[in-house]
Amino acid sequence: MHLATQDGKSGLVVRVFIQGAVRCDVVELGQTNGLRFPLDKIDGRGFFEGFIAERQEVFAYRLWIEQPNGEFREFYDPYSFLPTLGDDDLYLFNEGTDRQVFHKMGAHCRTINGIPGVSFAVWAPSARRVSVTGDFNAWEGRYHPMRSMGSSGVWELFIPGLQQGTLYKYELLDSHGHLRLKSDPYSTYFESPPNNASIVNSPSEYQWGDDEWIQQRSETQWPDMPISIYEMHLGSWKQASEDGNRPLSYREIAGELVEYLQQMNYTHVEFMPLSEFPFDGSWGYQVTGFFAPTHRFGTPDDLRYLIDTLHQNGIGVILDWVPAHFPKDAFALAEFDGTHLYEHADPRQGEHQDWGTLIFNYGRPEVRSFLIGSALSWCEQFHIDGLRVDAVASMLYLDYSRSHDQWVPNKYGGRENIEAIDFLRAANDAVHQSFPGVLMIAEESTAWDGVTKPTHEGGLGFDLKWNMGWMHDTIEYFQKDPIYRKWHQGDLTFGAIYQHTERFNLTFSHDEIVHGKGSMLLKMGAEHIPEKAKQLKALYAWMWGWPGKKTLFMGSDFGQSSEWAYDRSLDWHLLQYDDHKGIQTLIADLNAFYRRHPNLGRCDFDSSTFQWINHSDHESCVLSFMRLDHGAQHTLLVIGNFTSVTRDHYRVGAPHPGIWQEAINTNTKRYGGHVENTRQESVSMPIQWDGQAQAIDIALPGMSTLFFQLKTS
């Protein structure tokens, strides 16, 4: 309805497009009898128009139509409602600083002037027309063209009568006259492929029960705490064998997962991406729904139930988040409005050659609003306790995995991606300021300086960084036959040089046990499973003694023999065998030890609390170090013997006099080894050894790692 002049008379004009109607009237609301104004059908395709003379003000109305079968229908005209976005909303969005963007863009159930419906908003600045299509209008783009919000590039429309569960997409007419059918970038729920329609998902009424956890999280200094993370792919953890080996749903897995994590004494679980994605083989790392949990395991509220259950049982939840790239699927972000909107136009900047995906244009403020909004929405809507940011190295370097002629330098001529750096800093600050206690973790594989340094000090602002160098060096060492290890001791000692340059998270992730790399167990430098199991247990205890937080991929904590496969369950049946059960028991005990001695977590990032005892006994392949803290009772000795030679009287330097008692021995019968479970003790001798004032003689089984502490009673 618009003010208009016709034949010299002022009044109102109303235009409507309704297919399949033989008559259409405007019905004025608020009148006792409801004044009616018939419209003329001016086109056989369904266009109606009418002029209401001598009315100077737009009034509230509904449309009344008669259908060919004689039925009547009365409904509200979407174009009778004012925009749901204001100038401030559009300004912040275009500026890239709107931290509430996910409450405005996308589809939202709203009640306007007492009328329920759904508001839609999408960014498509180069489109000539954008329409909302769906199961409510036979996917006809001419029914609901959206309103352009001017230079903001945003299109908006409120459609009364729509509700939860409505399927929809956007139909865009690009500048070349081509139609594009796109899912909503801000959608919070999707149907399954191949249709991939967005689904209207009204604000959740889920009643959270994790208030105590959230409060405690915000008050916790996580860098000072023991953090032991179980990384998992939800679809292949366990499957319902009685139902075609389908994955367990969010709700089905909740109880079993809590029981397992508590049994294993993990502090956190990290889910590989749960954002919506079309291709199972991408494991979730090629995202098309940056605000939507995948439909594969249930509804968004089902995921809330899983996270709530974990929180109420004292377990934190970390989610893999992928702002580095997105797939080329035609229904999603790629060339969204007919231009390279979310990605760079130049393939030297906008395409990941390794992965066949597209790189976000971090220099566009609206793209930053989109991505930062994604991070904040997971924290707000799903109470996520941490985001592990995938592929950070690929974001930081313009020449990442490119030949010299396949990249474009920054404005200073360098290889650093300045826009991506600014984005990462902004995202980390936004999460930390809006959700105190939420962890930001970088998967960053280079020597970039200051990844975990605060942004106000010039760093990227992450809380933790995966220690990829330590992971690769350690695996390289343990893959070698023990007879050759004496020439490669530096693989284990080199990490100490840079260990405290960042706040590191020690990790053996899913990436290390796929694509022919072999499982953690089969990587070990031995021929037979029992010997491989011994080596893996020695490696794990070495890892838990080394400073840094811990992350271990599912299945690796019981020594799964085969590589991980995304489309089948873990080999849980292996736990009937002592070698695998022993590895699992050891991980549970290492986690318990780590949590039981809070000084270890508190000192993970303090260089003064790590000291080598002896890293020069190459011939024996024995290394030893200390984890120190205030007072002798908190000192931990870690000794690793990485050959099969047993050394019954091995002398180790000790910093304090007293009785040193064995706390962990990876070769005991408890862990499937041959040594009795009784803890050996050694009284220190006032002999200078390994640069220490005291020394102890211990029995050091072959292929084992031992922990010793001063006996306190």
Question: Do residues 71 and 40 touch, judged by C-beta distance below 8 A?
Answer: no
CA distances from 161 to 24, 220, 227, 583, 668 (A): 18, 46, 48, 58, 68
DSSP 8-class letter at 9: E
Alpha carbon 71 to its chain centroid, in Å, reads: 51
Question: Do residues 594 and 550 touch, judged by C-beta distance below 8 A?
Answer: yes
φ, ψ of residue 279 in degrees (nearest 5): -110, 115
338: left (phi over 0), alpha (psi -120 to 50) or beta: left
Annotated active-site residue in 270, 351, 366, 443:
443
Q: How many CB atoms lie within 10 A of CB 551?
A: 25
- Cis before 194? omega within 30: yes
CA distances from 199 to 64, 97, 379, 660 (A): 28, 27, 21, 63
Q: In the block, which residue shows the tokens 């064998």?
A: 241
Number of H helices, E strands in the chain: 16, 38
- Token duo for residue 120: 């839609």
Annotated active-site residue in 335, 390, 473, 579:
390
**What distance in Å separates the CA atoms of residue 655 and residue 633, rounded to the nearest whole number?**
11
Is 210 in the active site?
A: no
User: What is the DSSP track for 72-93?
Assistant: EEEE--GGGS--S--HHHHHHH
Maximum Cα interatomic distance, the chain, rounded to a whole number of Å = 112
CA angle, 668 as apex, 663 and 669 as ends, to 5°?
135
Is 171 in the active site?
A: no
Counting beta carbons within 10 angstroms of the beta carbon of residue 558, is it exposed (0 to 12), middle (13 to 18) or buried (19 or more)?
Answer: buried
Q: Where are the beta strands (DSSP E) in 464-575?
A: 464-466, 504-508, 549-553
Looking at the annotation, which residues are catalytic? 390, 443
